[in-house]
A and B are shown apart, each in its own frame.
Chain A
């Protein structure tokens, strides 16, 4: 199934991830963490299916080890569980380690989603007007990578059919790399001359924009801004305060967490809405 959220304007997508990662990285309150991990995980699984599940299973041990290791560095805390190398291993430090590992997990999950939604072309179309040279550079580079890999294979194949490459792998590799660099640079100069001949640098660069802000994009943008403002206000009011060491003290869960949950559910909710609409439409037929 295609992701509906990805079909929105890149700016809307980008802002969502700025909010999700920014808040996810700062909030240490367990309720907020749980909300972010649950939403992030479900969206990540929705986007990548089994691939995401495998990646998540790889993340989990890292996060757990990090949580368990924290009390070794941080010996603050009032409830001593046991003594290790003559140092106290405290419950509070372990909980704190768990919370900060949770932060790491939210970061990994949301960046995992980011990689699915905001592809290279979307990024360059988003920033192409602000940093034209750098984004042109980026476009050229991203195009060049598959090109270079293909050319490497061609060079190696050509050398093989010439009967070369029997003098050891290292020498052969060096010859291929050398040929590749020369070919790429000379080709690059031809490209550059061609660009100049077509008037590169003579006027302001226009960019090909495939994405346009439609009404639904403006709406979603407004919703995102309202929700994230509410979350930031709740954070400023101290609703996300959480102290772990020396003693655990958490702010009571309040409306801030609800807004946070709604914000993070936006991509999945859009997909859900789409699926329901589709069912209704099919039912009508």
Chain B
């Protein structure tokens, strides 16, 4: 068994249950720490798999470039909740596969927080952004996601509204001190809805306008240099 696989199994079947168990034993509001630890532990297998694969220079650099562009689109555009970042992450996933999509998402969240400020929300953002890239990459790899801009726009809108956005709201639910009553949960998701809608709209607009030229360019680069097709020859 590969080292990264065994570590993943260890994390999911031992570390996370142990954390959950200890979390229930600790006094007070330790679920702050428990939840953040679990998110970190869930990120761990992805990063270890990436390390274990010993990524080649080209793969690293391409992921770095996509991260750089996503971060710039988050940091340089001054309108809050209206950033092309998610669209960029999803397009990376579509062009380079689910693993690359996850890495681009997670590193974008972490890296951009060096510019806008790290916080307890950083692991949650890494998870949510990464999940966005993972989903688009997975669906595209399976051939379930058409590359026509209009379908990509619909996909972008829905996935931000129903997948990435709620994952980010989950963070406020766990880190904001209002408890877990049914009302509090509804309140958190309802208060996140306008921001998610704006973000979803922005993602759809970017997908509609940019997806075709951008994917063409990414494909051209892939074709020109024969990248990310087989991992041995990179």
Contacts and interface: CB of A to CB of B under 8 A. Distances in A.
Contact of B221 (A25, A186, A238): A186
A138 interface: yes
A136 B60 contact: yes
A133 B120 contact: no
A223 to B, nearest CB: 23
A109 to B, nearest CB: 11
A136 B107 CA distance: 11
Nearest to A139: B64
B60 A26 contact: no
B22 interface: no
Contacts of B184: 73
Contacts of A131: 47, 51
Interface stretch (A35-43, A160-168, A193-201, A206-214): A193-201
Interface string A157-190: 0000000000000100010011011101110110
B111 A145 contact: yes
A285 interface: no
B178 interface: yes
Contacts of A104: 175-177
A148 B47 CA distance: 25
A235 B33 CA distance: 15
B69 A192 contact: no
B217 A181 contact: yes
Interface in B109-123: 110-111, 114-115, 117-120
Interface stretch (B127-135, B146-154, B196-204, B206-214): B206-214
A78 B184 CA distance: 21
B24 interface: no
Contacts of B30: 26
Contact of B65 (A108, A111, A184, A193): A184
Given A133-B55, A195-B57, A188 B62 contact: yes
B118 to A, nearest CB: 6
A73 B65 contact: no
A158 to B, nearest CB: 18
Contacts of B57: 191-193, 195-196, 200-201
Nearest to B46: A134
Given A148-B69, A180-B69, A235-B27, A111 B118 contact: yes
Given A111-B120, A174-B209, A201-B56, A145 B28 contact: no
A2 B144 CA distance: 56
Interface of B is mostly: helix
A108 B114 CA distance: 15
A120 B114 contact: yes
Interface string A13-31: 0000000011001111000
B103 interface: yes
A186 B217 CA distance: 10
Contact of A185 (B33, B62, B176): B62
Contacts of B103: 137
Contacts of B56: 192, 196, 201
Contacts of A238: 27
29 contacts: A22-B33, A25-B29, A26-B30, A26-B32, A28-B29, A73-B183, A74-B181, A100-B177, A103-B29, A111-B119, A112-B117, A119-B114, A131-B47, A134-B47, A138-B111, A141-B67, A141-B71, A142-B111, A147-B68, A174-B209, A182-B221, A185-B62, A188-B65, A189-B62, A189-B221, A195-B61, A196-B56, A196-B57, A200-B57
B120 A25 contact: yes
A70 interface: yes
Which 5 A/B pairs are nearest by Cβ-Cβ distance?
Answer: A100-B177, A144-B68, A192-B57, A140-B64, A188-B61
B209 A170 contact: yes
A140 B59 CA distance: 13
Contact of B67 (A108, A119, A137, A152): A137
Q: Of B67, B114, B177, B178, which is in contact with the most chain A CB atoms at under 10 Å from its CB? A: B177
B217 A114 contact: no
A69 interface: yes
Interface string B171-193: 00001111101011001000000
Given A107-B119, A145-B68, A149-B76, A134 B33 contact: no
